[in-house]
Structure 1
Amino acid sequence: MKRFLGFFLIALSAFSFADEPMEDGGSRYAKIVDQLKAMEANHPTLAKMFSIGKNDEGTELYALRVSTSPQAMDLSKVGHFVVATHHGNEGGSTLFAMEFLKDLLKRYQSDELWKANLNQMEFTVLPVLNVSGYDRNSRYEHGQDPNRDYPGPCQDKATGKLKSIRTLMEFMGTRPFAAAVTAHGYIGNFTYPWGFYTDNNKTLDENRYREVFRKVAEVNGYSYGNAGDAIYPANGTYEDFVYWKHGSWSLLLELRNGSAKDVAGTVPAIARYFDLIDSSPSSKNQFSANCVRYRGPDLRRE
């Protein structure tokens, strides 16, 4: 474990430059919004940009909906969701979200199988959740870790302190999302619930998750496992919340290094995940174990 943590902290330091502004003084988020607008303009029958709500600054949190009927939410389709940049200094996750969108739109034009999938599916991608952190290249938003701000069965602290988190939680309840992916960095693995402190971190869906990820990991060689075992336990995370609250088949994607090559190899792996995972939320998402009070240091790194 110590060996793993040492490697992890070194890897993190290579990609974390907290509170460093852009050299040109511009808004990184504004450039992402411009790219979303361009995708919508270039694919008006497949893509629709919209806001899921606002953060504490009143900034709109923009997402792109991709389907064969994108102008409005279509509850007749299987809903899937991708969120990136909980942590503003994990820019590789933002890159992943944008490249996933490009690949999704390209697949519709060139891949007959994905044309059929899009007739049945509705993808929503939110590239930047932590806008102020992304613009400052900082992990935090108003001094808070966004990925510790969600409620859960073992959460003993106040949650929803950030409006961005409250906005996202509310949006996740607007329709059933069969699967939900949250992108982070930088380890190089796929993890799934439970990730919080409990005496049994295996959900009733453990076998199903492992069955799917055995095939997903073949695409890019990432490791996979339960979040509490593969990384370390942490309370208040999105991936645990959305599975516990809504049954969404959640995946914590930990990019290896967030490089263009890494992202290019991971995009098809996530496409395969959406292709393999169940088309409806889990009905076995109840927590039935016991909460454990963790006595070690909270590294707050994933």
Structure 2
Amino acid sequence: MIREAGLEALKKAGLGPGDIDGIFIGHFNGGFLRQDFSASLASLAVPEFRHTPAVRLENACATGSAAIWAALDAIESGRIKRGLVLGFEKMNTLPSHEIGQTLLRCSYVREEGETPGGFAGVFGSIAGEYFERYGDQSDALAMIAAKNHKNGTVNPYVHLRKDFGFEFCRNPSEKNPVVASPLKRSDCSMVSDGAAALVIEPNTSRSLEGPSVRWRSRAQINDFLPLSQRDRTCFEGASRAWKSALKLAELRLEELDFVETHDCFTIAELLEYEAMGLAEQGQGARGVSEGLT
């Protein structure tokens, strides 16, 4: 996976392995693989990277963002000219019941490590508290799930290219059981093996095969890990990050044409609507019900 994603990114950038000055690998692992020291795997996948500096970054659900952040720092400092960012996970090495337990390492294990339902149970509890405070949001979560599955049908790289529709996502069934109340299977991201890569460099006049984007701003905000120390129905850290990034970019939210946001569970996407300012707290459902997303 590393080789395929990395070489494809280099090809689209019109570059070869010898043009890369540093490799930044985002890899959570957390016990999915016995093999650690992920930075060393780039040269096994592409032998030409044998002596290219490589580092591995892990930051739970923001692991990929952390790798990009580090690559941008290295380039902006002038230490390197071009960086290759690689992200990969291999999750299907474990039985299903162990996968949820492994992902719980992204939570505060001392307090949340025994949560029934694994990591889905953590977000199920978040959804349950949100429902208690703001009312049943099952329709909104089903609309989010249906929207995302439909979007996936036009992406050749997704795990499951199938439009399930609102009714399937809204109602529990044998094929869509409750995983961690009130979350059903369709509310949960899939367990997948995959890899992605991108090349980051200063502006170039070189002809490119693939799409390119320019970086306008970036922001990172942390928050307390234990849910007991924060309002679990509000992504305050994400809200602060959005405000900071928009300010640095000198943009308003309504000027954006496209947003790709983290949606490990549908309740997370709903809370992101509120964090980015698309809806007031407690009214995240408007983001999808009014066709804003």
| Structure with the largest fraction of strand | 1
| Structure whose CA Rg is larger | 2
Shorter chain as denominator, the TM-score bin is: under 0.3
Query: Structure 2 length normalisation: TM-score?
Result: 0.27
Higher helix share: 2
